[in-house]
Amino acid sequence: MGAPIYFISKMNFKVDYSISKDKDNYISSIWNFRWHKHGREKITNKLSSGLPKDLVLQLINQKKLKEAELVVEKFLNSQDDKFLKSIEILKVGLEKNLNKQEKNIIETLETAYVKPVPFITLKVYITTIPICPYNFKERWFMVFKNHSKEKHIQTAIHELNHFMFYFYYWQLKDKVGSNFFEIIKEALTVLTNPEEAGYPSEKYLRKYIAENRNKNIEVILNEIVENKLYLKT
């Protein structure tokens, strides 16, 4: 991609914990998995492996959304003072760490996209299960409570890579369709998160992008679309 080009970009991270947001993640990721699986087998089992078995059993046996929500709400509201204190400590430390790493995060994204980071204020929610959904429209993403400081930064970069793709290349969805648009989006994280193995269904595309990372991202995307490389796994 040549020499990095940096822009005068600023970001401010605000960290919080919301039982409502955390509950929604349990519902969307364990009770009824609603995200793209990207070839990940038994993903729900992996996500719930660290939770109390009776909670998981009770949750997955619910037939109606409202009952499932009540199960999760009861569990989250029953956490002890030690848990609540750890959340408060994490909120302060995580917000400080993310904002301290702001320049590094911005440079990583702008080196990959050769475009300015257009987001100023970003909301970060803590979740207690190891999957980190996001909402591009509302400009928030989640980080897993039990991850390390380094992993939290990597997660932020990963999710903001998605935000950059949505912001600058949303029109590709009309060319390749929603499903392949998501595949390209995930594969592009190799440009900012080379430490990640990536998802099974994006292995070919991720390898292709990594091998061509010296090219401008628009050239890479044109090659992917024109040659329908997103069809290969």
Cα–Cα dist 123/141, whole Å: 7
State residue 5's pLDDT score: 56
Cα–Cα dist 169/183, whole Å: 13
Contact predicate 204/232, CB 8 Å: yes
Higher-pLDDT residue of 37, 14: 14
Q: Give the model confidence (pLDDT) of 133-166 as tens digits.
A: 999 999 999 999 999 999 999 999 999 999 999 9
Tally of CB atoms within 10 A around 54: 9
State residue 3's pLDDT score: 46
Determine phi and psi for 165, rounding to 5 degrees: -65, -45
Cα–Cα dist 97/38, whole Å: 30
How high does pLDDT run on average in the chain? 94
Tally of CB atoms within 10 A around 226: 9
Question: b/e for 74-104, b at 16 or more Cβ within 10 A?
Answer: ebbeeeeeeeeeebeebbeebbebbeebbee
Cα–Cα dist 62/70, whole Å: 10
In a 13 Å sphere around the CA of 101, the CA atoms on its Cβ side amount to 18
Per-residue pLDDT, averaged over 26-38, amounts to: 93
With a cut of 90, say whether residue 35 has pLDDT above it: no
With a cut of 90, say whether residue 53 has pLDDT above it: yes
Collapsing DSSP to helix, strand or coil, 206 comes out as helix
Which residue do the tokens 């991270």 mark? Answer: 13
User: What is the torsion angle, in degrees rounded to the nearest 10, for the CA atoms of residue 200, residue 202, residue 207 and residue 208?
Assistant: 160
With a cut of 70, say whether residue 42 has pLDDT above it: yes
Contact predicate 156/124, CB 8 Å: yes
Q: Give the model confidence (pLDDT) of 102-125 as tens digits.
A: 999 999 999 999 999 999 999 999
Cα–Cα dist 172/229, whole Å: 14
Contacts of 186 (CB under 8 A, 6+ apart): 36, 38, 198, 199, 202, 206
Q: Give the model confidence (pLDDT) of 213-224 as tens digits.
A: 999 999 999 999
Which residue do the tokens 């109390």 mark? Answer: 52
